[in-house]
Amino acid sequence: MRAAPLVLMPFLLIAGLARAQDFLSCQLVPGWTQSEAIHPYTADNLYDYKDGGAEGYLIYGFAGMKSLNCKLGDNTLTIDVSEMNDADAAYGLFASNRDPRAPIAKIGMGGQVQAQSAIFAKGKYYVEIVVNAADPNSDNTKLLSSLVNTMAQRIEGRTTAPAELAWFPTDDQNTAGLVPQSVLGLKELKRGYVAKYKQGQAFLVVEDTASSAAAVLKVLRQKYDGATDAKVGDEAFQAKAPYLDGICIFRKGRTLGGYANLPTPQEAATQAVKLAARIPKASELFPAEDAH
């Protein structure tokens, strides 16, 4: 009786692979055909394909990539699908590559379609598509829009951007995205989100526990001579910091946040109060923990 699961395993694996390949096919674009075998890439050989750009993928938690080339007459179409460690990393890679001058389209967690290229992220996948047309001035927006929307429907995973991005005030905001390591250039802030404004920048880092967040805050405070208490969140300090100018860093539950690169610590603290007020209560963020 126990042999049945073993018999089923090969079929389950094949089915899983079939679903994985369902969204990576030239047949999704009518008239286009696959011109060569799919190229797989890992962290070990991504440099062979992306050369100087590989590091930008690896720091976001790159797990692997599959690259597909399609052809229609003298036109070629390249589809690169990168699998990341989690959905936040996929969105972070998208945000780092998007055109900040163009709006984000509702494709998966977010996407952009231009005349010769398109990108989007959904779940733990980041997708890039480039058209190399015989006519370099051709507009392939309609083709690319159809393709990315079809792919997004077939890819499983989250369709919303990281919740933390919505906590940042939007007035005068230029960009916002995931920073995979050393937020604000501080090694203690290992991974988080940064929003840049016309003046200054804000950040958010969610630690594993409130205790670990408190420990990080204590270490950060010790870095700056003359740091003083600030009335923000559960605890906070403000200071004048090298390269960061006026800063204020606070803790609210397990979330660390703050402002930097403002003229004075007091101005940073004023903005930090507004940011802290936008962060949901711990009971809303982590209801299972609150129940204990």
Cα separation, 107 vs 150, whole angstroms:
10
User: Cα dist. 216→178, 197, 251 in Å?
Assistant: 19, 25, 9
pLDDT of 72 > 90? The answer is yes
What percentage of residues in the chain have a pLDDT greater than 90? 83
SS3 content of the chain, % helix, strand, coil (to 5): 35, 30, 35
At 9 the pLDDT is 40
Task: Round the average pLDDT of the chain to a whole number and report it.
Answer: 90
Beta strands in the chain (DSSP E): 33-34, 39-41, 62-72, 75-84, 110-113, 117-122, 125-132, 173-179, 192-197, 201-206, 228-229, 235-241, 245-252, 255-262
At 265 the pLDDT is 98
At 52 the pLDDT is 83
Domains of the chain, each with CATH number or no CATH: 8-154 (3.40.1000), 163-291 (3.40.1000.20)
Q: pTM of the entire structure?
A: 0.81
At 18 the pLDDT is 41
Residue listed under structure tokens 């967040």 = 213
Cα separation, 57 vs 119, whole angstroms:
14
The string of pLDDT tens digits covering residues 177-227 is 999 999 999 999 999 999 999 999 999 999 999 999 999 999 999 999 999
Cβ of 254: how many Cβ atoms within 10 Å? Answer: 19
pLDDT band at 287 (very low <50, low <70, confident <90, very high): low
What is the average pLDDT across 144-169?
A: 96
The backbone region for 134, taken as left when phi is positive above 0, alpha when psi lies in -120 to 50, beta otherwise, is: alpha
pLDDT band at 136 (very low <50, low <70, confident <90, very high): confident
What is the average pLDDT across 108-130?
A: 97
Cα separation, 205 vs 8, whole angstroms:
43
Cα separation, 48 vs 53, whole angstroms:
10
Rounded (10°) CA dihedral 248, 250, 255, 261: 0
Beta strands in 153-287 (DSSP E): 173-179, 192-197, 201-206, 228-229, 235-241, 245-252, 255-262
Beta strands in 94-230 (DSSP E): 110-113, 117-122, 125-132, 173-179, 192-197, 201-206, 228-229
Query: SS3 of 14, please?
Result: helix
The string of pLDDT tens digits covering residues 39-69 is 999 999 999 999 888 999 999 999 999 999 9
